[in-house]
Homo-oligomer: A and B are copies of this chain.
Amino acid sequence: MTYSFKNDYSEGAHPNILKALLETNMNQEDGYGDDSHCLRAAEIIRKRIGKPHADIHFVPGGTQANLIVISSILRPYESVISAESGHINTHETGAVESTGHKINALPSVDGKLTPQGIRSVLKEHYFEHMVKPSMVYISNSTEVGTFYTANELKAISDCCKEEGLYLFADGARLGSALCADGNDLSIEEFASLVDVFYIGGTKNGALIGEAIVINNESLKPCFRYAMKQRGALLAKGRILGVQFEEFFKGDLYFDLARHANKMAAKLTDGIKNLDYGFMADSTTNQIFPILPNTLIKKMMESYGFYEWERVDEGNTAIRLVTSWATKEEAVESFLEDLKCFGLEV
């Protein structure tokens, strides 16, 4: 039996979420997100993010959130700018392209975009023989565990406004980003800087579900048509509403993210103490320590995790992901074993 640090969706849902599903189970509700829970959850979120006029929609998963938002906004010949490492550009099996749109992918060491990078794409794409970049996609936290500071996001937001680009933030791990050590963005500020974003539930303790938040008026009309067409308007939308109500009626959403980050920080500290380096500097719930291949092999007997990137002949960066459900004892045991096995190999 191994303990898994493979990802943040290895367990089911936080117990409070399941409890809420149980308690509301036999109430009759309208279908397709018109139920009382979705309405209430939307209202609570609007208040929490300080956007009383935002439109909020709940969908089952992140790939759906991304493809629906992007395809509902772009005209056929328009493209979206993303970091090369962006989830839409790597691990969604061409979902965005399947809706007809090119991704302009920018190399990036830390998984983040910059105004300079964005403008370089615009400069190159100036006439009708090329796609028309009309949207910027960022993820926060990023796929390599980094996050955007207030200044960084503000710079991108300003750039997008100046250049007439929509700004969309993938928040599959938004909780972890906003609770990260060093983060200086509140969710209100974050919400103010983007046209549309989603708050990830699946990777932060929900059974399933993400909440799409639309600030820009021009993007609001007919969004439910777009959802239905892509199969994201769930008959029992209530189960999404119930979960996000539970997340945001108190501070559960951020509590869970904080726990995940804390466990990652503990891992980071312990691994640093053993003098191993890291592929990237992360204070979110994904960390990328570099370990000797022999040690990795040994650790894999007791722990689940992915090898991420070969660093040199004898060393490889691995990915460790913590979550709302990660047990402190498991972290401690991992560090202990790392120490022991590290001495052996």
**Shortest beta-carbon distance from A284 to chain B in Å:** 17
Q: Mark the stretch among A6-14, A140-148, A272-280, A331-339 that contacts chain B.
A: A6-14
| Contacting residues of chain A (212-246) with chain B, CB-CB under 8 angstroms | 222, 224-236, 238-239
Question: Do B225 and A132 have beta carbons less than 8 Å apart?
Answer: yes
| Contacting residues of chain A (101-144) with chain B, CB-CB under 8 angstroms | 101-103, 128-132
Q: Which residues of B contact A103 (CB under 8 A)?
A: 102
| Contacting residues of chain A (21-59) with chain B, CB-CB under 8 angstroms | 21-22, 24-32
Partner of A31 from B10, B132, B224, B236 at Cβ < 8 Å:
B10
Question: Do B128 and A225 have beta carbons less than 8 Å apart?
Answer: yes
Given A28-B4, A128-B93, A234-B60: A18 and B21 interface contact (C-beta under 8 Å): yes
Question: Do B26 and A132 have beta carbons less than 8 Å apart?
Answer: no
1/0 per residue, CB under 8 A from B, across A70-104: the answer is 01100111010000000000111111011111110
Partner of A129 from B29, B67, B91 at Cβ < 8 Å:
B91
CA distance A235 to B99 in the complex (A): 21
Question: Do A9 and B235 have beta carbons less than 8 Å apart?
Answer: yes
Best-buried of A6, A9, A13, A76 by chain B (most CB within 10 Å): A76
Q: Is A271 engaged at the interface, CB distance under 8 Å to the other chain? A: no
Q: Mark the stretch among A202-210, A260-268, A294-302 that contacts chain B.
A: A202-210
Q: Is A3 engaged at the interface, CB distance under 8 Å to the other chain? A: yes
Given A3-B28, A77-B94, A222-B75: A228 and B129 interface contact (C-beta under 8 Å): yes
**Shortest beta-carbon distance from A182 to chain B in Å:** 27
Question: Do B93 and A129 have beta carbons less than 8 Å apart?
Answer: yes
Q: Which residues of B contact A97 (CB under 8 A)?
A: 79, 97, 100-102, 131
Q: Is A15 engaged at the interface, CB distance under 8 Å to the other chain? A: yes
Q: Is A64 engaged at the interface, CB distance under 8 Å to the other chain? A: yes
Given A77-B98, A93-B229, A98-B77: A29 and B13 interface contact (C-beta under 8 Å): no
Question: Do B12 and A24 have beta carbons less than 8 Å apart?
Answer: yes
Q: Is A159 engaged at the interface, CB distance under 8 Å to the other chain? A: no
CA distance A16 to B214 in the complex (A): 37
CA distance A272 to B91 in the complex (A): 48
Question: Do A229 and B92 have beta carbons less than 8 Å apart?
Answer: yes
A-B contact pairs, 20 of them (CB 8 A): A7-B31, A11-B26, A12-B27, A18-B22, A26-B325, A28-B304, A60-B60, A61-B231, A63-B231, A77-B98, A77-B229, A92-B228, A93-B131, A93-B225, A95-B229, A97-B101, A98-B230, A100-B100, A102-B103, A231-B232
Closest 7 CB pairs of A and B: A64-B231, A12-B25, A63-B231, A77-B225, A94-B102, A93-B229, A94-B131
Given contacts A32-B129, A208-B208, list 17 more A-B pairs with CB under 8 A: A6-B30, A10-B28, A12-B24, A12-B27, A60-B61, A60-B234, A64-B230, A72-B76, A93-B228, A97-B97, A98-B101, A102-B103, A128-B228, A128-B233, A208-B234, A208-B236, A208-B239
